[in-house]
Amino acid sequence: MSRAIRILGLDPGLRRTGWGVIAVEGTRLTHVAHGVVAPPDSLPLAQRLLHLLEGVAEIIALHAPHEAAIEEIFVTANGASTLKLGHARAAAMLAPAQAGVPVAEYAARYVKKAIVGAGGADKAQIAFMVARLLPTAGGPTADAADALAVALTHAHARTSPAVSQGRGAQALRVGA
């Protein structure tokens, strides 16, 4: 029997970064844990980013994932918000990189299509499908459900020919 691979999914945000860990053994997917890293809003930006980095690092130390996957940012009309989200995403990506865990990136539309079947799915639809696919996860918050969706997407995409030929998740991106 093969050894299970643990995948950490991340849904980055400056206020709440959702995370979820699943185990993959063959075609079997199992929920391991999920939650949210939420730095206090009262902290300066640099301290909030440090909180995110350290929080994700603790999750990695606790759950020892073999691979990580993160949702790409989408550009909004508010450039300052997009930039702050990019900072949060960078902080979340640094923790697995420091631990030597490879990080795949997926466009939000690709994750939604992979989990729900429609690239324009809303958070409630994502949460519903995550609960169906991982019944032992209970009712995760929207941020944790999104992170579990990213992990599930990576679990399926990692065995595709594009990923196995070394092109990584970028070859699988669907435009935002």
So what's the pLDDT on residue 161? 53
So what's the pLDDT on residue 8? 98
DSSP 166: I
Q: How many CB atoms lie within 10 A of CB 33?
A: 16
pLDDT along the chain (176 residues), means of 10: 85 94 92 96 95 97 97 76 87 95 93 84 88 89 94 88 42 32
Dihedral of alpha carbons 78, 84, 85, 86, sign: positive
Measured at the alpha carbon of residue 2, what is the angle toward residues 66 and 67, in degrees to the nearest 5?
A: 10
Burial class (CB in 10 A: 0-12, 13-18, 19+), 125: middle
Amino acid identity, position 84:
K
Q: Per residue in 142-175, pLDDT tens?
A: 999 999 999 999 999 987 655 433 334 443 333 3
Task: Give the three-state DSSP class for 12.
Answer: coil
- Confidence (pTM): 0.87
So what's the pLDDT on residue 2? 58
DSSP 4: P
Residues recognised as catalytic: 11, 71, 143
Amino acid identity, position 164:
S
